[in-house]
Amino acid sequence: MADKLKATEEQLEYAKLLDIGMKIGLLVLIATFFIYLTGILTPYIPVRELPNYWKLPVNEYLEITGIHPGWSWLEKLGKGDFLNFLPIAFLAAVTIACYLRIVPILFRKKDSVYAVLAIIEVLVLVLAASGVLKVGGH
């Protein structure tokens, strides 16, 4: 019974990686936001002009600011506002890393159904992250 009460190996490994990733992501998020707020790196959109944009639908906001959706933020990491996308993307990628971590464990335990489910989940999340899925706007 004592063994059954323990979380499984894959569950513990998932939890460990999630814990590390979450802590790194949140710490970097606070650091990059501090850089943004203090103006150490000049933002792409000056903060005093933000009230003009946060009231707009996203497609209008992108059009007026000339921001390209998808992964184009990587080219603007030198800007204080876009720097914040680094920890945001990191936090959104932690789950993918956790799934990748447990796939070999599941295969080793011959739990092939769950290993395949985990691989499909990785593919779904990578598809969402890829930027291939564009929305037409409204």
Partner 1 sequence: MFTRQLKVLSIAAIIIAAFLFAAPVLASTDASPVPAAAGSSMPWWAWPLILFIVTFLLGILAVLGGVGGGVLFVPIIGGFFPFHIDFVRGAGLLVALAGALAAGPGLLKKGMADLRLAIPVALIASSCAIVGAMIGLALPANVVNMALGGTILGIVAIMLIAKKSEYPEVKKADNLSTALRITGVYHEISSGQDINWKVHRTPQGLATFIIIGVMAGMFGLGAGWANVPVLNLMMGAPLKVSVATSKFLLSITDTSAAWIYVNNGAVLPMMVVPSIIGIMLGSIVGVRILAKTKPAAVRYIVIAMLLFAGTRALLKGLGI
Residues 30-89 that bind partner 1 (CB under 8 A): 30, 33-34, 36-39, 42-58, 61-62, 64-67, 69-71, 81, 84-85, 88-89
Q: d(Cα 67, Cα 116) in Å, to the nearest integer? A: 38
Q: Is 19 in the site for partner 1 (CB under 8 A)?
A: yes
The least CB distance from residue 87 to partner 1, in Å, is 9
Residues 103-122 that bind partner 1 (CB under 8 A): 113-114, 117-118, 120-121
Counting residues that bind partner 1 (by CB under 8 A) gives 82
The least CB distance from residue 108 to partner 1, in Å, is 16
Is there a contact between 73 and 62 (Cβ–Cβ < 8 Å)? no
The least CB distance from residue 25 to partner 1, in Å, is 7
Applying CB under 8 A, among 78, 104, 108, 137 the residue interacting with partner 1 is 137
Q: Is 24 in the site for partner 1 (CB under 8 A)?
A: no
Distances (CA, A) of 48 to 33, 56, 77: 16, 16, 20
Instruction: Name the token pair of 45.
Output: 């959109």
The least CB distance from residue 8 to partner 1, in Å, is 7
The least CB distance from residue 91 to partner 1, in Å, is 6
